[in-house]
Amino acid sequence: MESTVENITLPIDIRGILDLLPHRYPFIMVDRIIDMEEGKSIAGLKNVSMGEPFFQGHFPGEPVMPGVLILEGMAQVGSILAYLSVPETIGNKLVYFAGLDKVRFRRVVLPGDQLIFKLEMVKLKTRIAKMTGRAYVDDQLATEADLLASFG
């Protein structure tokens, strides 16, 4: 699938993601964008590895991905949708996490899992984007939330 945004084709690999997002290791929480309908929806993935630095302390002997980092990954994928929906913002504005509602954690995410983030745009205005997001592992719902983002 091709996007109408110049020079963007799917899938978007980590190099393309780093061109869009200001996040860097160890805080980049998305490895690939696998699907997108500009202004409407996006799907991205994160391969969860035991080498992630947060597993050292969450929790020793019982590694579980922190829920806030699952939400951060969801927000990063949503930021990519926002950027590609309003391409003049790329490199000119940051997309800030502005709010969360209806957050639910349905299952734990463990080393070796692959998170698939799926977001749908609910509303897109000049400065605000509202999205509904879900994160899946093996087709099982792991996390869901409504996200609000602002261009700043």
Q: Which residues are catalytic?
A: 58
Amino acid (1-letter code) at residue 24? R
Give yes or no for a contact between 122 and 132, defined as CB atoms under 8 angstroms apart: yes
The β-bridge partners of 144 are 104, 134
Residue 128 has a CB neighbour count (10 Å cut-off) of: 14
User: Strand, helix or coil at 130?
Assistant: strand
Select from 3, 40, 6, 33 the least CA-distant residue to 18.
Answer: 33
User: Strand, helix or coil at 120?
Assistant: strand
CA 114 to CA 127: how far, in whole Å?
Answer: 32
